[in-house]
Amino acid sequence: MAGVQLLALLSLAVAASSLSMGAQATTGPDARKVGVYELKLGDFSVKVTNWGARLMSVVLPDSKGNLADVVLGRDTLAEYFNDTSYFGPIAGRVAQRISRGRFVLDGKVYHLQRNDGKNTIHGGGTAFSKSAWTVKEYVGGGDSPYITLYYRSFDGEQGFPGSLDTYVTYRVSGPYTLGVHMNATARDRATPVNLLLHAYWNLGGHGEGIGRDVLGHTLRLHASRYAVLDAELLPSSGRVAPVAGTPLDFRAPTPIGARIRQVTGGKVVGYDANYIVDGEPGSMRPVAEVRDAASGRALELWANQATVQFYTGNWLNHTEGKGGEVYNQYAGFTLETMGYVDAVNHPEFPSQTLRPGQEYKHDMVFKFSF
């Protein structure tokens, strides 16, 4: 009997250890392989799940010391399994849109899964964002908490050629800094790669400001040019134009809503624009600063990518969110650093092709203040 009791106690200890890593019991695709992992440094907390290598929450104080989560999303993992709003995942193998779900590489035509009308978006319907990644390393506390996630994208996944080894590391450091580091290596065949983090932000925070939209947030973008997109949000003309004199000009700090009604060309009113970040692609440089005057919170983004997609949650419509809140249009914004949209079909844009053994590197740093 004593042996049985000891075994039971050991089993409970193992279960408690698993839960201390943040594993959240649930049911759904690969549920036994999916958990929630917290990175905590003082009163700064970040939660990540390996389902889609997804950023679930970022909690930090406002100017009065009140803590709130500034990332839109869901309450439970089960809800993320069926998420269609792309709350917080890593999107790939090629994020954003690919015209007509096809491209030519080395003389061969590749046909992809179309999940955005006639086009492919964010790699296809069951791509990186809807897969269980492997937790390679996890340190939840200390001076620099981090988690590294791994995903093997197989040859032919969603129609893309070659297998691809992909790693994403989320790292918290002080004061109130979150680094997101993505790298991928082509294993056996040439393939295009263009990853992004699709996190929605509202610096007002849940329980405080999510009821407000982000139109009052002040935005500055370090971008003097943008890729001209058509009604399908594709750069069909291949043109790059100056932002000067357009409602896309955020070179000086400007409320997001100041000119949003002047943005035309899309199917709904709002920003979903691809900006060319000033400076040299491949080098870390400032991308954007955002401030919410009501809470005092501010976000500064640095990255090494060529472009940033600025999106204002135009399609959010009575979307169930965290804590019973409902997200409506403009409830959050995204700043998705990446390569040029649809570069696989535009030789005038920088190539996104990796040859076997070549490595893709994408670094982002979010610096918060209040």
- Residue 336 known to be catalytic: yes
Q: Which residue among 289, 336, 346, 362 is the active-site one?
A: 336
Amino acid sitting at position 110: Y
Q: Which of 38, 122, 157, 198 is catalytic?
A: 198
Amino acid at 96: Q
> Helix or strand or coil: residue 343?
helix
Cβ neighbours of residue 44 closer than 8 Å, sequence gap 6 or more: 59, 60, 172, 174, 175, 176, 368
340 annotated among ligand-binding-site residues: no
Active-site residue 198, yes or no?
Answer: yes
Query: Are the CB atoms for 58 and 69 separated by under 8 Å?
Result: yes
Phi, psi of 224 (to 5 degrees): -95, -10
What 3-state DSSP class applies to 243? coil
* In contact, 277 and 228? CB cutoff 8 Å: no
| Measured CA angle at 167 (ends 173, 233), to 5 deg | 95
Report how far residue 191's alpha carbon sits from residue 205's, in angstroms, rounded to the nearest whole number: 39
Annotated binding-site residue? 167: no
199 is in an annotated binding site: yes
200 is in an annotated binding site: yes
Question: What is the DSSP track for 1-53?
Answer: -HHHHHHHHHHHHHHHHHHHTT-----STTGGG--EEEEEETTEEEEEETBTT
**CB burial class (10 A; 0-12, 13-18, 19+) of residue 172?**
buried
Enumerate the known binding-site residues: 198-200, 272
Q: Tell me the catalytic residues.
A: 198, 336
The binding site for beta-D-galactose comprises 198-200, 272
